[in-house]
C-alpha cells in the first residue's frame, strides 16, 4: 500500500509525462473530466500547464452545484419563503444565483430560515431540535453523496422523525456521459472518469462508452501521478477503446454493493433537468413510494417552474466543454467569485472558479 504522497513524486510524474508524449506520438487527445475534484486537482497541481500540446483538457458536468438547473434553483428559492419551514443546505448552494439574481443567501438575509449544514445527518439533527417545524434538506450531488442521504432517510424512518424531508436533486453520472456523446459537436475523444463516484459504481456502468461509442474511459485518482497515469491509459486505449480502472487502490471493479443496495432501497431513477444538458431520462434519483412521506416534492407539492436562463451566463456551454470559461464575455469582468453570475463561478469545484483562481489573466 503506497501513501498518497508517493503519487505526488516529481520523478514519477516526469516519467509518466514522457510516457504520455511517447504514446501519443503527435496524435491529439481531447479528454473531458466529469468530476469537480479532478477539475481542481488538475489546476492546483500545475498539471494543466505541463500537459503536452496535443492534449486538450475539457471540464464537464462534474460539479453538483453547477449542474443544478435554473428551474431547480427557482424551486428551492420559492421553498425558502414558506412559513414553518427550515431549509437545510450545503454551503455552496447558498450563493447560487437564481432568477432575478436571488439566492438563498439573500433569502436568509430577508428572514428566511435557511441553515447551512455539513451532512444530511446534521439536517436530521436540526429537525429533532425543532419538532414544530418541517426541515427540508436539499439533496444535491451524484452517486457518491446520495447513499448518505439514503442512510439518513432510513434513520429518520427508524426513529419516527416526522418533520424531516428531502428535496432530491441528485443526479447520476452515466446518463450524462451518454448525453454528451450523443451530441457529436462536443467532440470528446475520451473521459477521465470520476474516482469518487466510481467507488460506488465500479467499472461496468461505464462499459457502454467503449462498446457503443468507441470512446475510452479511465477511472482516475486525484494525485498528479494518478491523473497522468489515467491519461497514459487513455492514450493507449485510443486505437482499441476500453474502460479501465487506473485507481485500484480506491476503486474496486465491482464498486460498493452495500451503498448501491441502500440507494436502491430508498431511491428510484427518474428524469432530471441538468444545466446545459437539459432533461435526461432516468438521470436523477426520486424517493421511492415507501418514502413518500419524506419526499419534499410530494409532501410540500413542489413543482419546477419555467424560468429564463441567467442572462449572459454561458455555464451550459462550459459544462459541455463547448467553451472554456475565459470565452464567456462575463468571465472575470461582471462575474467573479465574490460576485458570481453563474454557478460555475460559485462552487470551489466549478470550472469558472478554477480558471479564475489558477490561470493568469
Binding site residues, ligand SF4, CB under 6 A: 313-315, 318, 325, 328, 330-331, 335, 341-342, 344-345, 352
Q: How far is the CB of 64 from ligand SF4 (least distance, A)?
A: 15
Residue (29 or 315) nearer to ligand SF4, CB: 315
Q: Can you give the length of the chain in residues?
A: 361
Cell of 147: 447513499
Angle of helix 146-159 versus helix 257-266 axis, rounded to 10: 60
Nearer to ligand SF4, 77 or 318 (CB): 318
- The closest of 254, 179, 181, 247 to 214, measured between CA atoms, is 181
- Secondary structure of residue 332 in the 3-state scheme: coil
Please say which residue, 234 or 330, places its beta carbon nearer to ligand SF4. 330
Q: How far is the CB of 321 from ligand SF4 (least distance, A)?
A: 13
Q: Which is nearer to ligand SF4, 33 or 70 (CB)?
A: 70
Rounded Cα distance, 320 and 314, in Å:
10
Task: Compute the least distance from the CB of residue 352 to ligand SF4, in Å.
Answer: 3
Cα within 13 Å of Cα(171), Cβ side:
28
Coil vs helix vs strand at 97: coil
Q: CA 305 to CA 300: how far, in whole Å?
A: 15
Instruction: State the residue number with the nearest CB to ligand SF4.
Output: 342
Of 209 and 313, which CB lies nearer to ligand SF4 in the complex structure? 313
Question: Smallest distance from the beta carbon of 349 to ligand SF4, in angstroms?
Answer: 13
Rounded to a whole number of angstroms, the minimum distance from the CB of residue 179 to ligand SF4 is 19
| Nearer CB in complex with ligand SF4: 147/325 | 325
- For 186-246, give the DSSP string: G---EEEE-HHHHHHH-SGGGHHHHHHH---EEE--SSHHHHHHHHHHHHHHSSS--EEE-
User: What is the nearest approach in angstroms of ligand SF4 to the Cβ of residue 304?
Assistant: 21
Contacts of 28 (CB under 8 A, 6+ apart): 54, 55, 56, 189
Residue (5 or 333) nearer to ligand SF4, CB = 333
DSSP letter, residue 19: H
Distance in Å, CB of 264 to ligand SF4, minimum: 35
Amino acid at each position: 500500500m503506497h501513501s498518497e504522497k508517493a503519487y505526488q513524486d516529481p520523478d514519477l510524474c516526469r516519467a509518466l509525462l514522457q510516457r504520455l508524449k511517447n504514446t501519443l506520438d503527435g496524435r491529439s487527445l481531447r479528454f473531458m473530466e466529469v468530476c469537480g475534484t479532478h477539475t481542481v486537482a488538475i489546476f492546483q497541481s500545475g498539471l494543466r500547464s505541463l500537459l503536452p500540446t496535443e492534449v486538450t483538457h475539457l471540464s464537464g458536468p462534474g460539479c453538483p452545484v453547477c449542474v443544478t438547473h435554473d428551474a431547480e434553483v427557482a424551486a428551492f428559492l420559492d421553498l425558502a419563503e414558506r412559513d414553518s419551514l427550515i431549509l437545510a443546505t450545503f454551503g455552496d448552494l447558498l450563493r447560487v444565483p437564481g432568477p432575478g439574481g436571488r439566492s438563498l443567501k439573500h433569502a436568509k438575509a430577508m428572514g428566511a430560515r435557511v441553515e447551512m449544514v455539513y451532512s444530511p445527518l446534521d439536517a436530521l439533527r436540526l429537525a429533532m431540535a425543532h419538532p414544530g417545524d418541517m426541515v427540508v434538506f436539499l439533496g444535491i450531488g451524484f452517486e457518491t453523496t446520495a447513499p448518505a442521504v439514503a442512510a439518513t432517510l432510513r434513520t429518520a424512518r427508524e426513529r419516527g422523525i416526522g418533520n424531516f424531508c428531502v428535496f432530491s436533486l441528485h443526479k447520476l453520472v452515466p446518463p450524462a456521459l451518454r448525453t454528451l456523446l450523443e451530441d457529436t459537436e462536443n467532440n470528446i475523444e475520451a473521459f477521465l472518469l470520476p474516482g469518487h463516484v466510481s467507488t460506488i459504481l465500479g467499472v461496468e456502468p461505464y462499459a457502454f462508452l467503449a462498446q457503443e461509442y468507441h470512446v475510452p474511459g479511465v477511472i482516475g485518482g486525484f494525485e498528479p501521478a494518478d491523473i497522468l497515469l489515467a491519461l497514459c491509459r487513455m492514450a493507449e486505449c485510443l486505437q482499441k477503446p476500453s474502460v479501465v480502472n487506473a485507481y485500484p487502490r480506491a476503486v474496486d471493479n465491482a464498486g460498493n454493493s452495500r451503498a448501491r443496495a441502500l440507494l436502491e432501497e430508498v431511491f428510484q431513477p427518474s428524469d432530471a433537468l441538468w444545466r446545459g444538458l437539459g432533461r435526461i431520462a432516468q438521470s436523477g434519483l426520486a424517493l421511492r413510494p415507501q418514502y413518500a412521506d419524506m419526499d419534499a416534492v410530494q409532501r410540500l407539492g413542489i413543482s419546477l417552474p419555467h424560468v429564463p436562463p441567467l442572462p449572459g451566463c454561458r455555464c451550459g456551454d462550459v459544462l459541455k466543454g463547448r467553451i472554456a470559461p475565459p470565452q464567456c464575455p462575463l468571465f472575470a469582468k461582471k462575474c467573479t467569485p465574490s460576485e458570481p453570475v453563474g454557478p460555475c463561478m460559485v462552487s470551489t469545484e466549478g470550472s469558472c472558479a478554477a480558471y479564475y483562481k489558477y490561470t493568469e489573466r
